[in-house]
Structure 1
Amino acid sequence: MAIALITFLLGSGIDYLANLESTVGLDTLFRLRGARTPPADAVIAAMDEASETRLGVGQDLTRWRGLHAGLIRQLQRQGAALIVFDLQFIVPHPDVDAALAKTIKGAGNVLLTDCVQKFRHGTEDYYGREECSENHKEPAVRKEGNVGQPLSEQLVAMRKISAAPALIQSVLDHAPFVLVNDAQDATVREVWTYYDALAETPSLPVVVWLNFLRRGGGLNNGLDAPLSHGLTEQRRRCLSAKDHRAENSTEKSMLEKRIDDVICGEDSRYLDYYGPPHTFRMESYSDVYEGKAADLQNKVVFIGKANRLFASGKSDYFQTPFTDSRSGRMAGVEIMATQFANLAEGRFVQSPLPPWLPQVAFGFFIGLILTRLTGFYGLLASLLAGGAYAGLAFGCFSRYGLWLPVAVPILLQLPLSWLIALSWSRRDLLNERKRILDFVRQVFPQWMHFLPASPGQWYPEKSAAQMSSERYVRALCLATDIEGYTSVAAQHSPREMWELLKSYYQVLGLPVTSHDGVIANIQGDEMMALWIDLCSDSQRHSACLAAIEIDQAVERFNQTSTAGRLPTRIGLHEGEIVLGSGESGGFRFYNPFGDTVNTASRIQGVNKFLGTKILASKAVADSLTQVVCRPVGKFRVEGKNEALELVEIIDKASGGNDPNDLLYRKFAHGLQLFQQGNWEQAELVFQNILNEHGNDNPSRYYLELAQAYRQQPPADWDGILTLEQK
């Protein structure tokens, strides 16, 4: 999850600043897919270099206007469905406009392009085609009052300028078609279907497509001619009522739903280009004019400037995802035909999911791989997963025009995931090394001179003479022993006993290590754990919690074990020990030594007499408030002259009133009477505990002793019990 979140945020941030997904991802998908066949309905009559020469008009667009009437008549004879001019007819030419208007009106299927002028603050910074900009420089907005004061730099105005009145009144329809400015040198990826900044005016390709459907009988929505006005009204109704498209949607055909989506949906779409320039069928203007172009019946013929040879620096030519040094830029008329073809096919480039969702999912999946598989295998698996995702994205794009993000996942998220996983594994490695060093420092300090001061170093050449063979520390020892181990072992084969003990010591080891202890020694059914180099209260608290959790874990183990129960007794004692090494028979061994270790083992053995599970010397539990404990008496254990005052560790403190608090107070009172030699009163107290509170093993032990001592009091009684056995 961390890898997914970090890579998503960094990738999204870089994509936001550099537009990486469009400039690299989408363009790469187009180039990998290559060209695809455009619909045959669209044909371009290109005002190309050959036509300029053969018709003697050169590059002056005003000289072409006198030829358009003849071109329209020729297309009428060929049976063209619609004739679309991607040209400006703004400046009147009285000598030819009357004949051209008459021909246009007679044809009844001609559509013209409106110019859109965009400018800032007053009359400065015009954007638009030459005729539009040069002949319409009056401000679109004015300030009241001081007319000479300039308008705000932030104010951007747009307006639509139609063809000369003589021509506009004769056409079937007209609408604007705007692409990015040449001077911006930007790649055209998106086009407008509606210009909401121009009062919801539809773009010319949308108007052409719906007129084409109407002529073919596929449009039955009751719109009057010209369609552009009705489309504007429908768009406004959609924007004022967001649920308009949902009305009766189940009763509409797929085509009607597509029309509704274009009218009421987003005002821009990503073009699904068919290939580099000249992918569409392109006939020379002169060939069409002279009747040399065949098979134009029921075709939509787009007429506009389109050079056959790439020529840099000319206006109305634009970069596309396929633009390179060989193909050159694409003419605006071919981009118009591309948008019409996308509308006819019902296929634009679109994202099937919110862009962030695939990126988060990709980051999570790669993170899952890198955290489950380490090293080379994780790298290889994540690389294969990235390749599979790239293949999926390419397949969806090629087949359906669906655009899944590829640049951010492959170029950013994947290497970032590798870097994060590497850093994380390095961190884990250093933490593991620190844990091992701490263990060695506490248990086997004689090895420390071998260990590296930093990763990558090792000192095996240092001799044993340079190493310390012993270390004196203050430690807290935890000793365990299995009750009735001999009888359990007699019932199993050595291998069965080994399997049982292996599982048993795994259960014992986890509470020790989770509370910062180390296992110093395991011999048969006994284990010794140590807490070293911690402050006294901290290591006492950790050791007591570990003892309680060992007791609970063993109880769970015994409930599920099918090989036999291994009830465990635990003893805790604190004091000075020696961590040392020695040799025997040529082999070196490392162990904790000292009276503290032996005393912990003897305290563990006292559990056998009291019927308890965890005993500790009084000093271990003296200052702890997080555990529940009670004093259980003073004892002289075998091999020691000094008395040990012991407490029973019962459980973790819950923070509330302990339900056994009354029992513990009664026991403490009975123990005090017992130690004072008041056997009869002590006997009454312990008997009362058993009657009122049920079984309590220490109370039963002292009850039996009190009864025996009442009959035969011990000589020289000092309140200390002497145990002659382990």
Structure 2
Amino acid sequence: MPRFRLFSLGGGFCLAVLLGLVFVFLLDPMPVQKVRNAVFDQYQRWHPRVYQDAPVRIVDLDEESLRRIGQWPWPRTQVAALVDKLEQAGAAAIVFDVLFAEPDRTSPSQLLRGNQLPPGLAAELAALPDHDAQLADVLKPGNTVLGFAAEQSSSAVGPPLSRFGLVLQGQSPLSFVPAFQGASRPLPELEQAARGVGAMTFRPDADGVVRRVPLFVSLAGELRPSLVAEALRVAQRTGRYRITSSESGVQRVDIGRLQIPTAASGELWVYFTGPQPSRSLPAWQVLDGSAPPLAGAIIMIGTSAQGLQDLRFSPLGGIIPGVEVHAQALEQILTDTLLLRPGWSLAVESLTLLLGGLALGLLALSIPALASAVLMVVLVALLNAAAWYGFVAHRLLLDLFTPSIGLMLVYGAASIVRHMAAEREQRWVHAAFSRYVSPNLVKHLVAHPERLILGGQRQMCSFVFTDITGFTSMMERRTPESAVSLLNEYLEQVIAIAFRHEGTLDRIVGDAVAIMFSAPIPQADHQQRALSCALEINRFAQSYVASLREQGIDFGHTRIGVHSGEVVVGNFGGSMIFDYRALGDPVNTTARLESLNKQLGTLVCASEAIRQNCPQVPMRPVGEVRLKGKDESVQVFEPVEAMAKSMGTCDEAYEAAYRLLQTGDPAAVSAFVTLSDQRPWDGLVAFHLRRLLNDEQGIHFEMRRK
């Protein structure tokens, strides 16, 4: 291709790609947001905030406190005692990350409702003080803040009381801050007694990770402070807020002497520390007087107990209590270690993509490939090093990684145009076989394309077929996104195992996987590779199911069939579609062996062809099976390793019973009854016992369903 024509066509194509990328970047779709969030999360993992002792403490309603004092909710008299202890300790503010939306069920007035009590007892209960009133009396003189839960439902209770002044400078922030239609509020008498009421709600991102905490929310069209904002206001004994906004969003929130720069949404990016034991103390220590000094501290009262379900995903990769998110936000405000994402960040990132893309595109079209590649790597490295320096030195959240991806895409587009003609054959071979062949064989096939025969040829191959039990019903029980995520993680590991054994991925159909060995490159030990691959997949699948069940997720077991035989392998897609696969009876037999597991109650079935070539692997015989759609029987075996519970290197008790079954000895019934009593988990024993009880003799039987 002449240079001027290459430059003209390539330049136009690269410019179109670049403008498209800039447009997508400015639209800020969910994938771009996820990449940006992942970059910012990684910054925090590499360089978390160093904990500085700030006047913020968490009083934790932890498991031990619940064990000592009783399950939550505690009587309001107990909560009042906790508040009283904290007031005596000199707390600057006592902030509840707990919602008191319902009356105390242990109050005398509540006990009288719906209970038929003797008149004397009822009169005595009626004369006792109400627990909620007692808590309100304790809250009233103190510096306490209660929380409300902002909700999208307009049927929720309306806005809470206002106890603050609000000065707005610039444009109204209502259109920028998180918006909610209603709220679940504390009991009126408690709300009136508290010094402040703030929103406990924060919005996790699409991946469930909490990265920002709002300072203000819009509640039914009215501005309301968050729990963090109210904690700071009450602790400083100030009565008003100042919000500075522009056309691009909220810029700053002033609370007393504190000036807090925010994101355009009025939210604060939380800069997390690692676990810090001194940040929290259990509630029971406060109540028994053994807590350390708390004078002048903002006290956040919340829970880390798993049963109370206030746990959140952290950018550092762990799960932390929701109250700790509020506490860490307060710490970084008070220690002036705020994360900053200025309003000019998006402009810098967009210009980086546009100008860098233009430069790289021109270089890739005009200078040698190696030189342009080196320049591209250097530019991307410098950009990301600058962003990293900004984070470490100035706590700036600047995403130059996402534009770097765009730069690499522009460079790739230019390189494709430049080298398209010269590399067409290698790209075709590489693109075709990188989907089917284990990665270590791709390079060999590209270097020796004459080894790849398009069409069909006869070849001895081995096959591994897998399928997941009950996957369709699992799809119906779970959301599609959740089910697909679990399946993708499973398939990724199965394919990785196949590639480790240098197998070729034949196809994936839903949750089923077909793996081929000895094609396109012959493998002398393909039977051993196939069986080893099947056993490793079985071990992984068992472990994967167990780990998911520990998380309360039901995932089906994997059934596996292994067989070997002569097939025709090659490209059967014609000239329009490349479809490299194997055809022949052994392929169908492998599929039937996988399905036979359902009837047998086993997980792995191997044929006689596999067993003969793998004498070192202990197996126990299943029988002579006439598979569905077949006229001849196949000798089937189960690897001992694949049994539900390991029996070591052999299963002598089963094989003794099997010999009785094979010879038609009536003692086979009692032998299998004994085995069944000893191993209620052994599916193959149960299968043969059912046959014997149904007067089916011998080791010959038929596969009844696919």
Name the TM-score, length of structure 2 as normaliser.
Answer: 0.45
Instruction: Look at both structures and tell me which one has the larger radius of gyration over its CA atoms.
Output: 1
